[in-house]
Structure 1
């Protein structure tokens, strides 16, 4: 029997997983620390308002995902593979025109979409704020988040480029460094009693740091020369430093000038990505609609308790998504043989199920201690929600693997149908159950949506496998 995996692929995936675990582990710890600081500094009521503003932001965020990673990564993988430029361990460059076209076109589209969404969203909040429809605290928090949206999405094309090359380490390190900086600044803001309206501006600051770092990494990969300000061959004086800065700046301009905006490619990306884009909108609204509906029936303090539990769960869920995004380029997107693909999906689903189930057992058992440790005694009621929400993460983990099959074969209609039905199932359960059971009803709504999505994935895999 032929070997399913070769040593080179195992090495790639192991290195990538290691750095992803380092980054996600660090991000997980920092997210918990940040949530704890915010919860203790704001209290249940204002923390609920923070969760509400964040939910609104995440609902409008997909409007900027016009050319999502679901379209870009498989396209980049194929382009790199066809030109024999998939290795990056030795910092080799890929001067592939198609890659430059993809990156340049996707960046411009995302930048235009981000500017439009930020402008319209800000205008809507101002108009509703003048009518006292929106809580002033929610408005102030939301404006800070808008800055993050402006800088985060356009530069995410570099992350997709690195993901396609199975070399996520540089982007992960930049993300982790930016998160550490944000955490330190947030501690300073809380320590010295800064106004809460400045807290969310740190998320914009983090996005700017990540954007600059990703640009720097991209130029470094595309250039055979270092791009630091000075190097060992220069004497440390003003004139040589000016020459060094000028040389580095020219190098950056040269690399970025290789980008091409292709009208035809923009049209293709928009048309091919339109279905995925709408599907992502349904998906993201599905993720946060529980908090929007819950706020209408309970106070911000209860929403804060529920949001605290979901904050822990969502950070844990990123582990499953991290595994799926890491293994997909090699073990799913890059596999042609159908039997091998089926075996890969089954094995990966089993691994994720075991991994997420063990985590759910541990988190649910220590839920009260975790909530008390992270958020303080005022949020102890959140442990009731955390006990159940961690088991929803098992469904999320399995679905994150099965969904890669639909992405591999660009089953746009199936993806749209899946998240549309999942959204409808969740909102129906939310409307019926939240008025009766409160936060528990919201959890049942989320679980029903993920269960429907998983069933549709399995159905599509079983009934289309022989035809692809």
Structure 2
């Protein structure tokens, strides 16, 4: 086995080793955080109980609905532009940073005001939302992560994120030990955002030493906002159908159900970093491939869709079979009733991974407007189904709404657009694991997955 792995390593080109190395760093990032989440995050959930845990997650979900104001949909656009126009790096990063900083500042009063209208008689909830919302300012520093991603060199952002996460995990353990109130855990989340943002700035300055050269341009700002507008719409509606379930459960039912739903989501979505890490790493390569070889461009899409579907099945099948046991093991008896919900919710991961995997091809193929339309359709369907199903079947209604809306937005919608239909066909083949044996043979013999 060791000899085969050594032979595999010698067959990889420099660019292939760089891609796999970047994926390895991203996997290390998520595995470390996943391990800490199992220990600390579940401890927090047990300590707070479904009611208080639900209140904290309601605040986080509510703030995330306004997060698109802070991000402005610039993530993929920044990666694309610094790959295409490396000489304009300082202007792109500086302008995007300023735009995201302004967006973060604007979002704070907006989220506080809307929450005060929806839950006027709950001062604790208003404090929780306000504290979490302040963290949106520091999301502006995430622009540095996109730079490292564009360079296929994510180890610096990984080190920063994990350092911040480990430190705040220590804070959370101390809070549990001293039986701290709920609001202290919201403050710990804010501290994590602050440490992560400042850490990214320090790591960038240590690596590049040119933060002082960042500049802003009105022309560049207009260009970024124009190109990112479809992503703003996509991001907004994606957040709606990913997080509106929790908000609507809190408004139409109670925070206890929000706590159960949040616990289910954390288990079901724990592996979502995998499609994101793989797709984010190959993103710059796809942009280049579009201009060089159209046939190979779609072949790589097929390989990625097949890989994502296979990974989804490896996760969803065992979790569905042992959902109640997993809820008891991880969260305790208070959360066991979420087992049936987990058995269904976990299958949304199949469509989420296919949707994430199509992202680079959507950007490279100028399908961002369609992607926004598909996401909007998914959001509308999600809200409508929640509105109908939550009063009738409670938390299970929110779960069914999520599964259906993800299927439509990430998969079925592609069949209705001429330029996206090829992706739909390849997604469908991926669901049936088309070419999986050849894909695994290709990786083992040549060291290439895509």
TM-score range, shorter chain: 0.7 to 0.9
Matched, 1:137 2:91: no
Aligned pairs for 1:12-411 (under 5 A) are 12-80=18-86, 96=87, 98-125=88-115, 127-128=116-117, 133-151=120-138, 153-223=139-209, 255-331=210-286, 334-336=289-291, 337-411=293-367
Does the 8 A contact of 1:286 with 1:426 survive in 2?
yes
Distance 1:436 1:383 in 2: 19
Q: Retained in 1: the 8 A contact 2:286–2:361?
A: no
Query: Per-residue displacement from partner, 1:128-166 (whole Å, max 9, x unpaired)?
Result: 49xx62523322222221232121x21011001000001
Q: Report the Cα distance in structure 2 between the residues aligned to 1:451 and 1:52, rounded to whole angstroms.
A: 24
| Cα-Cα RMSD | 2.0
- The TM-score, its normalising length taken from structure 2, stands at 0.86
**Which region of structure 1 is more displaced relative to structure 2, 33-42 or 189-198?**
33-42
When normalised by structure 1's length, the TM-score is 0.83
* 1:14, distance to aligned residue in structure 2 (A): 0.7
Structure 2: distance between partners of 1:33 and 1:137 = 27
For residues 391 and 323 of structure 1, the distance between their equivalents in structure 2, rounded to whole angstroms, comes to: 20
Q: Which moved more, 1:456-465 or 1:401-410?
A: 456-465
Unaligned runs of 5+ in 1: 81-95, 224-254
Contact 1:102–1:265 (CA under 8 A) maintained in structure 2? yes
Aligned counterparts of 1:319 and 1:404: Cα–Cα separation in 2:
15
Larger radius of gyration: 1
1:448 Cα deviation after fit = 1.3
Deviates more, 1:162-171 or 1:287-296: 287-296
- Alignment partners' CA distance in 2, 1:458 and 1:279: 18
Q: Which runs of 5+ in 2 are unaligned?
A: 1-10, 424-450
Between the aligned partners of 1:330 and 1:259, the Cα distance in structure 2 is 25
Is the 1:67–1:110 Cα contact (8 Å) retained in structure 2? no
The 1:375–1:333 alpha-carbon spacing in structure 2 relative to 1, beyond 3 Å, is: farther
Maintained 8 Å contact 1:293/1:430: yes
In the alignment of these two chains, the number of paired residues is 410
CA displacement 1:395-441 (0-9 Å, x = unmatched): 11112112321122332311210111111121222222222222221
Aligned: 1:452 with 2:408: yes
